[in-house]
Structure 1
């Protein structure tokens, strides 16, 4: 399904909607360039899961963990990883087994490590409006 977001707040709200249909073990794979709203979407995802911590990009830490919500959220940034072998080296399978939601930025770097039932969220700039985003969600239906 394709959505049009006019603001960061709308992008976050869409993330919160997605959180409402996710179950333990879900993987959300983001696709989109720098500044497209992946972290904003994840802030909404965290809010929708009931996590109250401040959500930041895990660019330098590789993974940020947000606990205390309906499900834990594990927010990955694969930008600095060379391939999926490096992902397995940091314990990818353990994260999958912990019963949370794994949100993966730059998922194309590790596409071969993602489960078949991964939810894909693509974020792209609208061709006519710099601040608008076209967000496409595949693999799950939103209410």
Structure 2
């Protein structure tokens, strides 16, 4: 087992596999992005044509049942997906949403959710937020003390 898979939580492992799969479709992604105050998505992905997808990772039935905020994420993406493992009871997941079966290494898209087009201003705001978030994480990775400067 890879050392990283020993320290990540189950939902983080699902996010890792989903992000890897999205890369094969030309998407880049960031984990735990806050599109607006009070919301934190597990994975926000930016596609090659500027499309924005949100992937929520659920590691168990209890994890899903305790999530009351997922519908608040819908106005912040063009498509919405759940990423769950192969043992998850997928009949719990709402119709009209996308579904990925994932593990720590990859994922497979079983269904695409309904597509809704973001307003151009919101798309621009989210694209800038994704870029800023990713650049900040990279900078802190290279220079752990950079966080205290901003």
TM range (shorter): 0.3 to 0.5
TM-score (norm 2): 0.37
TM-score (norm 1): 0.38
Larger Cα Rg: Structure 1 or Structure 2?
Answer: 2
